[in-house]
Amino acid sequence: MNMFDINDIAMDIEDRIRKDEKKKFSARVLKEAYEAQNIGRIEDPDGCASITGPCGDTMEFSIKVKDSRISDIRFMTDGCGSSIACGSATTKMALGRTLETALNISDIDILNELGGLPEENRHCAKLAADTLRKAFRNYQEKGR
Ligand code: FES
């Protein structure tokens, strides 16, 4: 490698970061973080909620409900890569489910779906599960 080629240096750094990530996170976590689905905010949602976790990161879910099923769901977060992975995985797990079964999605379910998270990131799954439940409560309060 040419030591003065900034592009090569940048690629080398990125390569090393990716290798470190692979040691720490499952392939599924990295996929959900780098290719996150259902990011955004639904206009005129049937239910919406956000929670700021103890780490200071915020998660938000907005949902649409049709025939007692989640017909659309989006998430936003200003958090870390694992919170993005948790948000993305949670939307995929909840989409199309009945409200009753979606309500039962727990942080353990999200962790299992992602193939686990390092101890210091496990709260990201709880933040996602808690926020989803709060969005359901908001839906119920609206009485749509
Ligand atoms: Fe707090 Fe990821 S949501 S560190």
* Each residue's pLDDT tens digit, 19-49: 888 888 999 999 999 999 999 999 999 999 9
Residue where the block lists tokens 């592009």: 7
Name which residue leads in pLDDT, 9 or 114.
Answer: 114
Q: For 97-122, what is the mean pLDDT?
A: 95
**Structure confidence at residue 69 (pLDDT):** 96
The domains located in the chain, with CATH, are 3-141 (3.90.1010.10)
Closest residue CA from atom 3 of ligand 1: 124
Taking the CA of residue 77 as reference, the ligand 1 atom at the shortest distance is: 3
Instruction: Using alpha carbons, select from 58, 57, 62 the residue that is nearest to residue 40.
Output: 62
CA of 46 to the centre of ligand 1 (A): 26
CA distance 24 to 12: 19
CA of 127 to the centre of ligand 1 (A): 8
The 10 Å Cβ neighbour count of residue 55 is 14
CA distance 85 to 114: 8
CA distance 58 to 131: 9
**Structure confidence at residue 144 (pLDDT):** 66
Is 2's pLDDT higher than 60?
no
pLDDT in tens, 52-99: 998 899 999 999 999 999 999 999 999 999 999 999 999 999 999 999
Is the distance from CB of 65 to CB of 137 less than 8 angstroms? no
Name which residue leads in pLDDT, 9 or 144.
Answer: 9
CA of 81 to the centre of ligand 1 (A): 8
pTM for the predicted model, two decimal places: 0.89
- pLDDT band with cut points at 50, 70 and 90 for residue 3: low
Instruction: Using alpha carbons, select from 89, 56, 61, 83 the residue that is nearest to residue 73.
Output: 61
Lowest mean pLDDT among 5-19, 98-112, 119-133: 5-19
Taking the CA of residue 55 as reference, the ligand 1 atom at the shortest distance is: 1
Closest residue CA from atom 1 of ligand 1: 55
Pocket lining for ligand 1, CB < 6 angstroms: 53, 55, 57, 79-80, 82-83, 121, 123-124, 127
